[in-house]
Amino acid sequence: MTQFHGQVAWIAGATAGIGRAMAREFARRGADVAVSGRRQERLAEVVAEVEGLGRRALAVPCDVRRDDEVAAAVQTVVAHFGRLDVAVANAGFGVIGRVEDLTADDWHRQFETNFFGAMSVVRHSLPALRRTGGRLALVSSVSGILASPRVGAYSASKFALRAVGLTLAMELRGSGVSCTLLNPGFVSTEIGQVDNQGQFEASRKDKRPAALMWTADDAARVMVKAIAARKREYTFTAHGKLGAFLGMHFPGLMCWLQRDARSTTAKLD
C-alpha cells in the first residue's frame, strides 16, 4: 500500500464519485494528491479527506472544458509539489436521448467534457509525466465498448476516448510513460443525477439497477491497482466485462437483446 510513496497524483474530476474515491485510494497508497473540479466547496472536502489519511493535498479548481484552465492546473500542481507522477482524466457526464432528438448543442456539450476535456488533460500533463516516467489514466466506460439505446452521445464520447487511450498506449511505448484505459460498469456515483446540461440535481432519481452497482470505493481500489500495474486497459464489473465481451464479439446479439431497452437501464457509466 506504499507503491506511490513520494509520488504525486492529480485527478481531474474529483469532486464526487469515482474521482473522489480515487483521491482517497491514492492517498492510502502513499501518494500526495491534487484534485480538480468545478465545485470548490467539494474540492475542500476531498482535500480534508486526503489530509486525514496523512498525505498532502491540493485543491486546484478547473473546468476541463477550458484548455487554459487545464494548462494552469498542471502548472500549479507541479509548482506546488515539484513533480507529477499520475494524471487521471475522470471528468464526465451523460447526455441522454434518442440520436434523432439530440441537438447540436447536446453533442457539443457531451464531447466538450468527456472527450475534449480529457484530451486537454492528456496534452498538458504529458510533459510533466515524461520527466517522472509517470502514469496517465483515462476513465472511459463499458459504454465505450457496448452501444445502448438512448445513450448514443455518451457512448460516442467514450468510444472516441477508448480509441485515443489505446492509441496512446502504443505511441507512448518506450517513453517511460504508461496509459491505462479504465472501463467501469455500473458504479454508484452522481452521474445518474446529472441532467443533459451537466447540472447535478440531488432530487433526481438514479434509475440505474442498484443491485448491479459497485461502490465508488470498490471501483477506485481496482482502478488505482490497474494504474499502478500500468495495464493498457482494464474493464470491470462482472456485468461490465460480460457486456463488453458481448458488445465486441456478438454485436448482433446485443442489438437484439436491447431492442426494447430504456436509457436508464441500458446506460453503463
Among the listed residues 115, 154, 186, 214, the single catalytic one is 154
**The amino acid at 6:** G
Residue ranges of E strands in 82-183:
86-89, 135-139, 178-183
Dist. CA 95–CA 22, nearest whole Å: 24
Q: Residue 35 in 3-state DSSP?
A: strand
Q: Decide if 119 contacts 66 (C-beta within 8 A).
A: no
Q: 219: Cβ–Cβ under 8 A, 6 or more apart, which residues?
A: 18, 21, 184, 187, 236
Q: Tell me the CB-side half-sphere exposure of residue 227, using CA atoms within 13 A.
A: 29
User: Is it true that the peptide bond before 237 is cis, omega within 30 degrees of 0?
Assistant: yes
Dist. CA 57–CA 178, nearest whole Å: 24
Q: Residue 201 in 3-state DSSP?
A: coil
Q: Decide if 86 contacts 227 (C-beta within 8 A).
A: yes
H/E element holding 21? helix 17-28
Q: Decide if 188 contacts 214 (C-beta within 8 A).
A: yes
Instruction: Name the nearest CA neighbour of 267 among 110, 111, 154.
Output: 154
Assess whether 234 carries a catalytic annotation: no
Q: Residue 163 in 3-state DSSP?
A: helix
The grid cell for 90 is: 475522470
Catalytic residue positions? 154
